[in-house]
A and B are shown apart, each in its own frame.
Chain A
Amino acid sequence: MADEFPFEISPMFEGERVRKDGMYVELAGPKSKGFELVKSVEMDEIEDGKFTLIGPDLSAMEEGSRHPIAMIYRIAGELVEQDLEAIVERRNHDFQNYIQGVMHLNQRYDIWIRVSKDAMKKGLNSFEQIAKATMMLFKNELPFIEKIEATYITDLAEVEKELDGAIATYTARDERTRDLHDEDVDVFYGCTLCQSFAPTNVCVVTPDRISLCGAINWFDGRAAAKVDPEGPQFAIEKGEIIDAEGGEYSGVNDLAKSLSNGEYDRIKIHSFFEYPHTSCGCFEVVGFYIPEVDGIGWVDRDFTGTAPNGLPFSTMAGQTGGGKQIVGFLGIGINYFRSPKFIETDGGWDRVVWMPKHLKDKVLADIPEDIVDKVATEEDATDLESLKAFLTEKKHPILERWVEEEEEDEEVVEETTTAASTMQMPTMTAGAPMMPAGLGLGSGSGSGGSGVKITLKNAKVSIDRVIIKKSE
């Protein structure tokens, strides 16, 4: 079928670059204008295979010149729907690159195309040939397209006239994409690029959780896994839902186990305290539990000071990295702050008490309105005392936990004292791992750990009896 074209068509030509020396014309690109757009329409609105050109054709263009171009494809078919437009549109890049002598870069209103002199010598002389070849590939490779029609525009005024409409379409599309959530998909993506220095680290990327390095979102994972399923990004079947709120899935657990060499076998994607996601050291932001206020603070790489717990980013990053599950610290990508599932199971934003000002400003629009003024920054609090004062003054929802905590503390004390046959006083400097009171202290002053000091404020400690025995 390709015989009708004066050029070869093959994926082989995909990486082909048309250099300036060998270029006949340049279309759109950084120094001109243009866009590509796919629109879904009703079957009777278009005529299959039809091509319309508005503006000068290739043959009328001078060698070495530059022109704007818009490429609009209208597609129809029983299965064609609006949601497919973006997927179809992105293929224009692939298909035009299949054409020998045509280089297509980028997408949307950033497209940049070059046609080579060689191709022109071999008989390419009209956009119609390129459009027909592209439409043929669309129909062959995406059989749900039953009808396709193309309009190319090379007249600047006409391109500009259509551009606003195209941009509106892209914007609307992006809004729909941002609305994709964990529950809407069956597959998550994993990444093991960083296993070279954190051998047990596995990043799980879901629609509601960007990778902790901030570089890979669910769509990137999907794109990479499709190109190279054996590569560093790969699909993870969700499997059974074990904990919807915490984000625990059997498929993720299975994979975590095998990829971490059995180091851990459960991951809760949206949990800070229970089976948290591992951190390889690449995270943009690290979250840290502040037991004194039972809240979570966040600090990013660009923050050079110390957080209210007295530690700088680098120290906490050191604690967090290495591909282990470290309860009390969590590495995340900045975009995770924008996720509706952001540490949902731990209270979400209501649990956040502190972050650096520049980081807060970055995600300001995505912080729930009722909490935004209650999250402290280094301008409000630099140590625990000032943090507590700020949270109290602002009536941060975390205060509710303090009340609960006090009650719990009393219970703990009672339990331990009645059970105490040996000295089991809740120590004031429990060497417990960083856990919220409900976890760490509820189990009765935990075992040795990172040497974190947990201070019980306002805890009424009553002791019936203290028996001191010599250890045998």
Chain B
Amino acid sequence: MTRVIAITGKGGTGKTAIAALLIRYLTKGNKIVLAIDADPDTNLPETLGCEAETGIGDMREFMLNERDNLPPDVNKESIFESKIYEVLTEMPGYDLLVMGRPEGSGCYCYANNLLRGIMDRLVKNYDVVIIDTAAGLEHFSRKIIRDVDDLIVVTDGSRRGLRTGERIRELVGELEANVKNIYVIANKVTEANKDKISETAKELKLELIGAVEVDEMIQERDLVGSPLFDLPDDSVAVREIENIAKKLKL
């Protein structure tokens, strides 16, 4: 069975970094991963150190634009599927799919319906799917992938960040989403705020599954703009992600 994990949280909290490090951990353990960047402001490829120029959104647009020119009796799902496979970036151990261009005006009902079917089938080919979504887009990514096993809310440790977590929890309730578990990861934690965070999390009844400290190696890489995928094993963040992954039984 494929395990589907969606990562969300407020802007800039470290969703993409956490996603990249989870993918790093999984591929090292020989798991086959499908990474999905559902943030229209694509930046997971960069963090992973690969390239993805076009995404699902562009292919969906292609289908919308071309539909009247296609032979009338073609199987549109099979063409769409092939187009999605075309934009999959294939890397050792993982494949990456970016969402890219969001919906425009017009009707996306049918295209999205085909897409859900295609994604259902695609997802089954992987051990784990990691979805990096922008805050508030949990709903959006669920349009494409029906069932999410774990929703991970990344917070930067501030009370506001944890409140976001609480709000997401409510939102998911309202959506009656098929989300089995919700966890919180505190990121960019310092000695000073560590205890405060776990207290607040408890108050808000959120399950804190890990706390990633501010990592100097990440900061160094930020400065030169190099990917996080090949961080060394002794990076603080890498080690904590390993703990988290084990708690998640990945």
Contacts and interface: CB of A to CB of B under 8 A. Distances in A.
A19 B73 CA distance: 29
Interface string A1-44: 00000000000001111011100000000100000000000000
A105 interface: yes
Given A220-B76, A284-B106, A335 B71 contact: no
Contact of A86 (B73, B105, B111): B73
Interface string B4-31: 0000000000000000000000000000
A177 B125 contact: no
A453 interface: no
Interface string A118-153: 000000000000000000000000000000000000
A448 to B, nearest CB: 32
A105 B110 contact: no
B90 A174 contact: no
A45 B85 CA distance: 39
Interface string A383-395: 0000000000000
A110 B113 contact: no
A232 B68 CA distance: 21
Interface in A198-248: 211, 213-220, 223, 232
A282 B76 contact: no
B107 A215 contact: yes
A371 interface: no
B32 A19 contact: yes
Nearest to A103: B85
Given A15-B125, A284-B106, A177 B78 contact: no
B57 interface: no
Contacts of B74: 107-108, 219
Contacts of B90: 19-21
Contacts of B93: 21
B125 A17 contact: yes
B86 A214 contact: no
B124 interface: yes
A93 B32 CA distance: 25
B72 A193 contact: no
B78 A93 contact: yes
Interface residues of A, number: 43
Nearest to B85: A105
B67 A215 contact: yes
The 4 closest A-B pairs by CB, nearest first: A15-B121, A282-B107, A215-B110, A213-B107
Interface of B: 32, 64, 67-68, 71-79, 81-82, 85-86, 90, 92-93, 95, 105-107, 109-111, 113, 121-122, 124-125
28 contacts: A17-B125, A19-B32, A21-B93, A30-B86, A93-B75, A93-B78, A105-B78, A106-B78, A106-B82, A107-B78, A110-B79, A112-B85, A170-B71, A173-B71, A174-B71, A177-B71, A178-B72, A193-B110, A213-B110, A214-B107, A215-B64, A215-B67, A215-B111, A219-B74, A282-B107, A301-B105, A334-B68, A335-B68
Interface of A: 14-17, 19-21, 30, 86, 90, 93, 105-108, 110, 112, 170, 173-174, 177-178, 180, 191, 193-194, 211, 213-220, 223, 232, 282-284, 301, 334-335
Given A17-B125, A19-B32, A219-B74, 10 more contacts: A15-B124, A19-B90, A20-B90, A105-B78, A112-B85, A194-B109, A211-B110, A215-B64, A223-B77, A284-B106
